[in-house]
Structure 1
């Protein structure tokens, strides 16, 4: 029989995968919460030390992707740190007001305008804006894959037959 804490742990892990696809839901933190809740409930026995370390590292990489992948992609595309910081703030505000489409449009537009103002080069501005926008979308995909990996690895490790 499966106890309530185990069910809550698995629900948190599933919520982590779903949360990576929803704006403002911290999928990686939900996944790590599920892992650590189960670990605590098992008397710190399951998952084992190696599995716990691997799952924790995956969760931290997911958290890093959540917060920094879009900014790093913008930097790779040539945007300045100031541009990425301002664009991130604008994107969050627009996300709250208009949803995910507003986030993407606002991110692209902000990076384009600020980089054009900074350098006066439309091609550079477009490239930076595309990198930032695609990086944000790729970040979501990476987060979904990593949290799904955490869920699968957890289930295999804890419920191995």
Structure 2
């Protein structure tokens, strides 16, 4: 027992394994673009392929992996399958990954994460970060989608 961490509890092995698998699947730029597009609304493989600039077969393979991990859902309508993000957790995962990426370069003189910067108090989900305006990473993914 660590005296400095009296309430410390390690996640279970299963929780750690499942979280690591989800993060591993998110570690692909095309999959991140697919998920970003799906966070905007339901879409077909053909539409997603056009949005992310990839071949439909490649998008279909990415979607199969994301679906197995529980990050996306598919809904069949006739011969088409329409995909959507599985739940709000997917949005939070992607937004946090983008937020983190946008805040890794803190040596920029006007970076919003610097205390005293007018946009420092901005990102939803973090104390002192309520409503962070568009980050470069968010804008880039949106532009690419």
TM-score bin (small chain): under 0.3
* Structure 1 length-normalised TM: 0.24
Bigger Rg over Cα: 1
* Structure 2 length-normalised TM: 0.26
Higher relative contact order (CA 8 A, sep 6+): 1
| Structure with the higher fraction of residues in strand conformation | 2
